[in-house]
Structure 1
Amino acid sequence: MNNRPPSMHDGAQGEPASNGCESTQLRNQFLETVFLIAAGLRKREELFAANPRRYPYCNELRLGIQRFAALHAQHAEDNQALRNLLDGLSESSFIRTWCTRDLSTWIEQWTPAAREELGNLECLELGPFAEVGGSFFNITEDCLEFLWINGNGSTDDLHENRVYSTLRDAGQAAYVFGRKFLILHPTLSWEERTAAAHANLAALEIDQLDQGETARVDGAWVQELIDTAYERVPLGLKVCPVCGWTMSLHGLRPMCLDARCTAHVDAEEYKTLPDVPPNSYRLRRGVMRFIAKPGILELQIARKVQAFGLPFELWPHLDTCDILITLPGGHTIAVDAKDHHDIDRLVRSIESDDMRDAMAASEAIYVVPADTPPPRRRAANRRLAHKPGYSIKTLRELTQHLKTEMGDA
């Protein structure tokens, strides 16, 4: 269960997509570019406030300017538009020339086709991101609003929120299909991505947990989800043996996005891992970290429940809980998977949670990783004694609990 705020391609081969796919790519590229610029402005202001005597170098702002220059060069309508850009590519000039203007004016010299593709972006209604006075500038409320809506912290947050918005806006069936698709496919080969982008889902591995949502999903929406969630894999990476994402070698240390993935992989074992096939795609880091990686445990639970032959729903009511299980006799269990070991934080969140009431469930169970120390689980459940019907268990304990309840039914 998740509560979220509202909400360059360099391959040798062409994209396996239509104009709609290209439109999604341009929107994603533009949003990420604007996010980098906004985040860079905020960081630059913070650095200057901390030490006014030191020039506030900011990599995010530089990268954002570079990406905007690339997009501007690609979509500018004429040479005069390019000359206007080249006059203001330094950080200071860019802030004065571009960041003090309404966001809609950033693309007013682009081609009609590009402007039409970006025309429905809400961010284009925002005003300037900076106010300049003399040799100083201040970021505006519009800049802060854009950052807050799109993640506030990093591009990982931006990508996570963009994907969650894409999932939620499409309705329950698409939400379930999309969440499962991302969890089951941390990487996609060129052929898999081509098949999925053209809604040829039969060419992919069969989803054993499908409950009819695949047949109801819109092919154009699948294409949009893939464009939003995935990126081209850099060359030379390995397949992570734990989560299925990508792993790289930093010095003598294998690295994935989760330290738990690399805890038992040394440099020698890394050499034996399979290479990621050329021209493959992977989930963007924020999507893998906050959506797909925690979802591995969610689907493990679903498979256990399915093996018992029990009715279940995945992410009912757009993720009010992760799984709703119905036992014989009508006893229902709302399950939420927590892929972390911070039991204290989990207990505090449960104390203010209403998942059981929201799902009208008989009980609510929070499933934690198997290696969570038993003494900490027992202590946590004692702290929850004042909240009947709420408990913390491992997957093994949940399995035993289901067996017991089925025997009593």
Structure 2
Amino acid sequence: MPDPAATLDWLGNPDLMLLRSVATAVVRLEGITRLDSFALPYPSEAQRALDAMVLECLRNGARPPSGLPELVRWCRSRPLGGWPLDRLPEGLFAAEDQLIDPVSGVPTQLCHELAVKEPGDSAARQYDRLVIHEAMRACREASSPESYTAFRRLLVTRPVLTEADWADVSTDLYLDPVRFLIEDIYAPVSVGYRRDGTYLCCGRCLTLLTPVTDGGWWCERDQCRHRGEPPAGRILAPAEVGEIRQLRRPLRQFVTGPGRAEADLEQELRDMGLTVELWPGFDAYDLRITFPDGHVWAIDVKDWAHPGFLGRSARAVRPEPPYDEACWVVPGFRVQMRRDYLRAFVQQRPAQAEGLRLLTDAHVKRAARARLRGESGPEAGIAPPEADQNGTDHA
């Protein structure tokens, strides 16, 4: 990632804005049709992205895509570093970054972040955030933080519901304040997930796997794919389990995925003997960790593909419920995939969040064990060392 002094306004870079236009078109196209089967007339948003890409190619003397099908092939076969965009800031994307996954043919998490999650974009407060905020409002009105926690756990642990699951959820009294939301956020599953009349859930992520042409299965969660082939979970045959519903994609992507990381970290810290509360104070932050001596850590877990976008969104952890130290945490695989992840985050972090530290989950667990052993100092804490505010934390 380049020096921030040279890229103070990289979000306004014309080639990045063009890529975001393409990413937005790809995400919207997937919502209305298969990405490999559409015809003229193209949706207006996709046509605008195509026209802009053609003009950019003509500007810099590159061969433009012949039409929207070829632009979609670019998204699937060309890493972003190979696109004819000569004004992109150097190092903004990793060598392998693509907008469409080459195996499954669906938009990548990076594509979704470019399209809808960029801080400062009015579209950023879209479906997933609106749902969470509406759930929070309803649970506050009911004076029931337990209902909010139950709702968040539902989205993390049960992204797929059979008819029997639906009946079970429908009788959970804790979910009464958010019942109206649950009716909307689970949608019938498309046949694109089906092979030989059945659906298969990922044994790690619990979401539905996508069948691919080689006979295998593809998991939509980046961390799961990083760990290898997805393990088989529930096998669901509609003839046996009735209608199958799945959380809508924005919630799976930006709530279920990070929520799995939160739940995993919660369990590992509990196994150390620590007291851990998830989403305290109506989701003021993700985990509130209390040590035997009463010392409290506050942690927000973030699972973003692009560290620069995550950095631009950085803000201090909310002060209530109170704590002694706080930080943001990213799953370690992100740093393994992109070694400059932590430094890139710091370089794009705004001045008002200068004291916010980003650590990996492994770092947090090491620090917790050190503190439990009675150690002190930087290695037994999560607050930024006074002498080190420049992003040199290690995974």
Counterpart in the other structure of 1:224: 180
Counterpart in the other structure of 2:259: 295
Distance of aligned partners of 1:192 and 1:403 in 2 relative to their CA distance in 1, 3 Å threshold: same
Task: Return the offset for 1:245.
Answer: 0.8
Is 2:161 the counterpart of 1:192? no
Give secondary structure in 1 for the equivalent of 2:273: coil
Counterpart in the other structure of 1:367: 329
Give secondary structure in 2 for the equivalent of 1:245: coil
**How do 1:36-115 residues align onto structure 2 when only pairs under 5 Å count?**
none
1:227 counterpart letter in structure 2 = E
Counterpart in the other structure of 2:211: 249
Counterpart in the other structure of 1:342: 306
Distance of aligned partners of 1:327 and 1:338 in 2 relative to their CA distance in 1, 3 Å threshold: same
Counterpart in the other structure of 2:273: 309
Is 2:235 the counterpart of 1:275? yes
Between 1 and 2, higher relative CO (CA 8 Å, sep ≥ 6) is seen in 1
Counterpart CA distance in 2 for 1:398 and 1:188 is 33
Distance of aligned partners of 1:302 and 1:264 in 2 relative to their CA distance in 1, 3 Å threshold: closer
Farther off after superposition, 304-313 or 397-406: 304-313
Task: Return the offset for 1:277.
Answer: 3.6
Is 2:384 the counterpart of 1:394? no
Give secondary structure in 2 for the equivalent of 1:161: helix
Give secondary structure in 2 for the equivalent of 1:165: helix
Q: Deviation string for 1:61-90 (max 9, x for gaps)?
A: xxxxxxxxxxxxxxxxxxxxxxxxxxxxxx
Counterpart CA distance in 2 for 1:308 and 1:191 is 35
Q: Deviation string for 1:223-279 (max 9, x for gaps)?
A: 43431221223352321244111122254474444455456777xx89x77533422
> Of 293, 310, 314, which residue of structure 2 is paired with 1:329?
293
| TM-score between both structures, scaled by the size of structure 1 | 0.50
Give secondary structure in 1 for the equivalent of 2:190: coil
C-alpha contact (below 8 Å) 2:289/2:296 kept by paired residues:
yes
Task: Return the offset for 1:380.
Answer: 6.0
Give secondary structure in 2 for the equivalent of 1:361: coil
Distance of aligned partners of 1:232 and 1:48 in 2 relative to their CA distance in 1, 3 Å threshold: closer
> Of 135, 145, 163, which residue of structure 2 is paired with 1:166?
135
| TM-score between both structures, scaled by the size of structure 2 | 0.52
C-alpha contact (below 8 Å) 2:226/2:333 kept by paired residues:
no
Task: Return the offset for 1:184.
Answer: 0.7
Give secondary structure in 1 for the equivalent of 2:206: coil
Task: Return the offset for 1:322.
Answer: 0.6
Counterpart CA distance in 1 for 2:129 and 2:345 is 31
Task: Return the offset for 1:398.
Answer: 0.8
2:256 counterpart letter in structure 1 = A
Distance of aligned partners of 1:176 and 1:220 in 2 relative to their CA distance in 1, 3 Å threshold: closer
Counterpart CA distance in 2 for 1:378 and 1:162 is 30
Counterpart CA distance in 2 for 1:304 and 1:292 is 18
Counterpart CA distance in 1 for 2:292 and 2:227 is 42
Q: Deviation string for 1:313-335 (max 9, x for gaps)?
A: 22122222111112233322110
Counterpart CA distance in 2 for 1:404 and 1:264 is 27
Give secondary structure in 2 for the equivalent of 1:317: helix
| Structure with the higher fraction of residues in helix conformation | 1
Distance of aligned partners of 1:348 and 1:330 in 2 relative to their CA distance in 1, 3 Å threshold: farther
Counterpart CA distance in 2 for 1:195 and 1:393 is 38
Give secondary structure in 1 for the equivalent of 2:285: coil
Distance of aligned partners of 1:406 and 1:233 in 2 relative to their CA distance in 1, 3 Å threshold: same
In structure 1, stretches of 5+ residues that fail to align are 1-35, 37-42, 52-150, 200-216
1:243 counterpart letter in structure 2 = C
C-alpha contact (below 8 Å) 1:233/1:281 kept by paired residues:
yes
Distance of aligned partners of 1:189 and 1:362 in 2 relative to their CA distance in 1, 3 Å threshold: same
Is 2:203 the counterpart of 1:234? no
C-alpha contact (below 8 Å) 1:344/1:380 kept by paired residues:
yes
Counterpart in the other structure of 1:177: 150
Counterpart CA distance in 2 for 1:343 and 1:221 is 36
Counterpart CA distance in 1 for 2:374 and 2:318 is 21
Is 2:360 the counterpart of 1:404? no
Task: Return the offset for 1:303.
Answer: 1.0
Give secondary structure in 2 for the equivalent of 1:373: helix
Cα RMSD of the aligned pairs, angstroms, is 3.9
Counterpart in the other structure of 1:77: none
In structure 2, stretches of 5+ residues that fail to align are 1-31, 33-42, 52-120, 376-395
Counterpart CA distance in 2 for 1:283 and 1:393 is 29
C-alpha contact (below 8 Å) 1:368/1:393 kept by paired residues:
yes
